[in-house]
Each structure stands twice: as C-alpha cells, then as structure tokens.
C-alpha cells in the first residue's frame, strides 16, 4: 500500500474496506474515502482517524445517534477513536443553497436535522460530555478585556447558562458545512462536539455562520430568524439572546486567533440580535 495510506492501513485490513480516493488531512484528523467490500456497488464510507481527544468523544456522540439525523457509524476502534462512517454522496450543499436564493430551504433543512438529533434515545449518552458553560469559557476574559457589546453579551450568556431549559446532547457546531446531503437518507449531521446543554444553542450557527457573507445583512437575519422560530418552534426572544451569546463567543475565538475582521463580523451579528430584542 502507498505511504500516504499508512495511517489507515490497520483499519483498511481490520474492517475489510478498500481506498476509494485520496486522504484528506485536517487540523485534528486524517480522513480517507473508502468502499465497503461485500456490497454490490461498494457502499461509500469514510475512515476518520483523529488526533484530538475532543474529536474522539464527538465520534462517540455520532455513534450514539445511531444514524438518526446523523451519518451512520459502521465500526469504531475504542482505543484510538477511529471511525468507519457513512460518506455523503449527494450533490446538494447547504452553503451554496444559502448563497443562491435558497436560504429559507437551507435553514429548514438544518432545523429538521437538529430536531432528529435532539429526539430521545433509549440508551444513555456518552460519558465525558462538556457542559455548555465550559464551552463558553473563552468569553468572560475576552469580554472583560474588550468591554462594550461583548461585555453585554457576556452578561446575557451568564443568565442563559444559569437558567438552561430543554437540555439535550448538542451538536455544538451545526453550521451549513456540517450537515451534508446523503442522497436518499436526506440531510445528516457530521462532526459533533462533546457538549450538552439547552437545545436552542444548536440553532445559532444558522444566523452566525462566518462562512456566509450575508450573515450581517439585517434583512437576511430577520428572515432566517423567522424561519427558525417557525420550523423549530422556538421562542423568538430567547433565541435572540442565545445568538448574542454565541456571536460574542465566536468573536472571542477569532480574537484569540488574531482574526479581528472576522471577530468584527460576528459582533455585527450580535448587534443585530440585540437590536431585534429592543
């Protein structure tokens, strides 16, 4: 086998699959498209080998979801956290849809997928999930440094975290590129985080996604807010407060990385949410 397949060799042999493309390397993981042997057309799958402890627990969340609203996990290696998972082969893309006049449909797809993820499971969730308060640990120190709108958002965040409702295992990063087209199986989530908390939090990325240049457009914000409230059955005012919280957290993460323009964009979304609350 070629040297670029070396990280995957043990899993190719163990799970009896064959490579069906070139490896992809991300900041935390190595991925390889594969085909399952023994199926008529070589069912498409993906091997994911992660180097990150949080990603490993996220993989356990994906497995716990059991293919309901999420990609199926066909096999896993508990020692390393490696996964053999369903691979998306559909031609549609939610980010492209949102940028090409189908924003309402993209938002509805995300809402429907999240409803499946948040539905009751018979078994207990994975251990070692982080409470949502831990997820927000970067916000308070940055808000103290920056003041202004970020400080206001941090106050709203503390109120929300101390009064969480309808707590579920969250996806934690449900943006347009983490919900993919799986053809006949529909829109399914990949790459969950290891976090639990109020279900409202999972809807914020529809409005805060920094990959969407239109996220700071007041008309787009108001329209997609209305779509989420209608499709997901959420309370508008509470969702707006969670948007303030997450937009400020996202800005804090960008500031930690020195990405000031992207932080400014996220704070512009927080400003839209605060205006809508008035």
Where on the phi/psi map is residue 204: left (φ > 0), alpha (ψ -120 to 50), or beta?
Answer: alpha
3-state DSSP of the chain: CCHHHHHHHHHHHHCCEEECCCCEECCCEEEEEEEECCCCCCCEEEEEEECCHHHHHHHHHHHHCCCCCECCEEEEECCCCEEEEECCCCCCCHHHHHHCCCHHHHHHHHHHHHHHHHCCCCCCCCCCCEEHHHHCCCHHHHHHHHCHHHHHHHHHHHHHHCCCCCEEEECCCCCCCCEEECHHHCEEECCCCCEEEEHHHHHCHHHHCCCCHHHHCHHHHHHHHHHHHHHHCCCHHHHHHHHHHHHHHHHHHHHHCCCHHHHHHHHHHHHHHHHHHC
- Which of 77, 93, 173, 217 does the annotation list as catalytic? 173
Output the CA angle 203-235-100, nearest 5 degrees: 40
Question: In terms of DSSP bridges, do strands 29-36 and 24-25 run parallel, antiparallel, or are they unpaired?
Answer: antiparallel
63, with CB counted inside 10 A (0-12, 13-18, 19+), is buried
Catalytic-residue membership of 173: yes
Instruction: Indicate which residues carry an active-site annotation.
Output: 173
């Amino acid at each position: 086998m070629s040297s670029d397949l070396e990280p995957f060799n043990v899993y190719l042999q163990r799970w009896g699959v064959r490579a069906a493309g070139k490896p992809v390397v991300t900041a935390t993981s190595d991925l390889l498209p594969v085909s399952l042997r023994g199926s008529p057309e070589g069912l498409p799958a993906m091997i994911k080998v992660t180097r990150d402890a949080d990603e490993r627990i996220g993989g356990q969340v994906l497995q716990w979801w059991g293919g309901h609203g999420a990609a199926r996990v066909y096999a896993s290696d508990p020692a390393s956290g490696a996964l053999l998972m369903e691979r998306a082969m559909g031609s549609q893309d939610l980010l492209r849809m949102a940028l090409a006049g189908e924003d309402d449909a993209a938002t509805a797809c995300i809402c429907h997928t999240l409803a499946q993820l948040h539905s009751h499971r018979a078994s207990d969730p994975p251990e070692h999930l982080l409470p949502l308060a831990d997820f927000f640990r970067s916000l308070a120190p940055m808000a103290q440094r920056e003041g202004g709108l970020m400080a206001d958002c941090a106050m709203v965040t503390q109120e929300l975290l101390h009064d969480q409702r309808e707590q579920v295992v969250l996806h934690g990063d449900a943006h347009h590129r983490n919900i993919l087209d799986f053809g006949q199986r529909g829109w399914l989530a990949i790459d969950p985080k290891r976090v639990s908390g109020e279900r409202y939090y999972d809807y914020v990325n529809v409005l805060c996604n920094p990959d969407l240049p239109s996220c700071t457009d007041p008309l787009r914000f108001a329209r997609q807010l209305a779509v989420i409230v209608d499709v997901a059955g959420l309370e508008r005012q509470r969702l707006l407060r969670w948007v303030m919280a997450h937009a400020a957290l996202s800005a804090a993460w960008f500031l930690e990385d020195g990405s000031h323009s992207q932080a400014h964009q996220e704070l512009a979304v927080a400003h839209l949410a605060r205006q809508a609350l008035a």
